[in-house]
Amino acid sequence: RLPVPKLEDTITRYLNAQKPLLNDDQFRKTEELARAFEKGIGRELHEQLVAQDNQNKHTSYITGPWFDMYLKAREPVVLNFNAFMSFNPDPKPEYNDQLIRATNMTVSAIRFMKTFRAGYLEPEVFHLNPEKSDTEIFKKIIRFVPSSISWFGAYMVNAYPLDMSQYFRLFNSTRLPKLNKDELYTDEKAKHLLVLRNGNFYVFDVIDRDGNMLKPSEIQAHLKYILSDNSPAPAFPLGYLSSENRDTWALLRKNLLENGNEEALQKVDSAMFCLSLDDFPIKDFVHVSHTMLHGDAANRWYDKSFNLIITKDGTAGVNFEHSWGDGVAVLRFQNEVFKDSTKAPAISPQSQPASVDSSRAVQKLDFKLNDALKAGITKAKQKFDATVESLSLNLIQFQEGGKELLKQKKVSPDAVAQLAFQMAFLRQYDQTVATYESCSTAAFKHGRTETIRPASVHTKKCSEAFVKELSKHSTEELQKLIMECSKYHGRLTKEAAMGQGFDRHLFTLRYLALSKGLPLPDFYQDQAYARLNHNIISTSTLVSPAVQLGGFGPVVADGFGVGYQVHDDWIGCNVSSYPTRNGKEFLQCVHKSLEDIFNVLKGKKIGS
């Protein structure tokens, strides 16, 4: 179970995170408020939380408040919450044809779903010592141990089973807009797929009456039929509504339902997933990011648990809604789909589509729109287009080293990437700001995420040495400063993964106070608390053989959304920003910082 940290540990960790962001006077004030909270109302709230947690052993203390945080948010899900991960191309070029890849990935996704629902999906396990635990012998033995104690057997060999409670929401699921708080809807009985092309909506069954998957050649035939349909794009594409403010969308949805669209919407909401087929090829990585992060809202349904997007040249990616689950569940799905569709593809470029009557099997959904709905779609389109217009996406690939060299030098690769972001921001804006790094707590029942706070007194000191006082430090001193950052970041990462961060705990205590109708404690009214939670640098990382790149929008208007990957011999970084920040310049500073760090670790003297 996810532990509730000790209150005194949480306050200490919170103050450690505040230190690099405040001057001495500000810090004294924040420390006073924190200590008063720890002794007073904070202690009462903490005890209530612990008692509540003990009565709800079937779940975790973060589950309810975290769902609420997502589902009560009224901002559009696209660019504010939905993230994307794009697939690597199929290693066999001829398999990257749009129809071939769409068929193979759809078949693999259905295979994954059927395996999961039948209870045959291999458990997600984090192996600290894979030689011992990631073996056939261990798997055979552990299979016969009763599940109530099998996790303990796994712990003995340093293997940690991860929570998979989010997986069932991958399929047949949608976030429904409702006034004040949205709802998650899942209908596991539905047998159809939703396909979007050119702003038109199509559905067809991919599972037959006996629960078996349609033949791949039939799925291929139906997709081919959709790809060759010449219907014009709708004048008022419905997809735009899923990009709206949630309350606005909730009212428009009510209107849609009252206007005779109940059956069509039911098909959209209950579909296995949304396959979006785009009619253009990809130009470059920045184009991939724009296409997968937002694309054309006419050809997306952002409320589905995920959209599988495949462009004209077979470039594929997933855009996923975030309230139902986190990156780990989506990544597992993508890894399996990539592996299955490339290693055991259902069809080949030589395969012929089945001779079936697709015009009967495929239903094109027709939506009845009144003037209010047409006006709603037009307004949604204007807002969406303006937001996308103001969004910049920039990328770099740092080719001068990666994980291998850093491990050789005994420094944490993740710590180095995070240090480079701190250094870059200092070089560009001359300040240290609130920074967020997401860390999964799936090692616990119903765990979600915890925050690592990469901006520390160590990174600040090290960044200042590199950016402002280079001439005062020898290479050995700079190496030592990097080592200190690495050690401290390693500790923070371990704490977060073990449920020992401070962010979720403080978030839940605040949630508890408000849900009990108590006045908001002074601690939470501190400007420093607000500033720490205004995450100007928001970061997330993953590396996988299936994934080419990942990214998300900035979480605040004056922020950067940083998706990064530390590979064996290179580092990739993908940054989103709005006009108040310059993402291109930030990445140039990141590149310079990485160059400096790598040179220092190699023992080279660097010039300013």
How far apart CA 601 and CA 478 sit, in angstroms, is 9
- The Cα–Cα gap between 121 and 453 comes to 34
pTM of model > 0.95: yes
Longest dimension (CA), the chain: 77
How much is the pLDDT for 140?
Answer: 86
Closest to 127 measured CA to CA, from 163, 158, 162: 158
Helix/strand/coil (H/E/C) assignment for every residue in 488-522 = HHHHHHHHHHCCCCCHHHHHHHHHHHHHCCCCCCH
**Which one-letter DSSP state was computed for residue 354?**
P
Cβ atoms of residues 535 and 529 within 8 Å: no
Cα angle vertex 430, ends 424, 434, to 5°? 70
Angle of CA points 367, 370, 372, to nearest 5°: 120
Q: Can you say how many angstroms the Cα of residue 564 is from the centroid of all Cα atoms in its chain?
A: 12
DSSP 581-606: S-HHHHHHHHHHHHHHHHHHHTT---
**CB burial of residue 580 (10 Å; 0-12, 13-18, 19+):** exposed
d(CA 26, CA 528): 8
DSSP secondary structure code for residue 451 in this structure:
E
Question: Residue 294 and residue 78: Cα distance in Å, rounded?
Answer: 7
The whole-angstrom separation of Cα 433 and Cα 559 is 10
322, 446, 458, 489: the catalytic one is: 322
**DSSP letters for 236-256:** S-GGGGGGS-HHHHHHHHHHH
Q: At 549, is the secondary structure helix, strand, or coil?
A: strand
461-465: long-range contacts, CB 8 A cutoff, minimum separation 24: 462/419, 462/422, 462/423, 463/419, 463/422, 463/423, 463/426, 463/432, 464/426
- DSSP, collapsed to helix, strand or coil, labels residue 117 as helix
458 is catalytic: no
CB 198 within 8 Å of CB 230 = no
Please name which of 391, 380, 213, 192 lies closest in space to residue 272, comparing C-alpha atoms: 192
What pLDDT is recorded for position 193?
98
Identify the pLDDT of residue 371.
98
C-alpha angle with apex 196: 110 to 264, nearest 5 degrees? 90
Q: Tell me how far CA of residue 516 lies from CA of 41, 61, 66, 509, in angstroms.
A: 13, 16, 17, 11
Bridge partners of 316? 310
* Residue 301 Cα distances to 239, 373, 477, angstroms: 6, 17, 53
Helix or strand run (H / E) with residue 439? strand 435-440
Strands in 537-541's sheet, in edge-to-edge order, are 392-398, 571-577, 560-566, 537-541, 435-440, 449-452
Could you say which residues of the chain have pLDDT below 70? 608
In this structure, the chain runs to a length of: 608
**pLDDT reported for residue 608:** 59
Distances (CA, A) of 170 to 54, 122, 600: 29, 16, 45
Neighbours of 485 (CB within 10 A): 27
Structural domains in the chain, sorted by start? 7-68+392-602 (3.30.559.10), 80-120+172-390 (3.30.559.70), 125-161 (1.20.1280.180)
C-alpha distance from residue 567 to each of 31, 129, 398 (Å): 40, 21, 10
DSSP designation for 19: G
How far apart CA 83 and CA 57 sit, in angstroms, is 31
Structure tokens at 120: 């045959």
Alpha helices, H only, 282-370: 285-293, 327-343, 358-361
Does the CA dihedral 88-93-99-100 come out positive or negative?
Answer: negative
Distance of CA 234 to the CA centre of its chain: 31
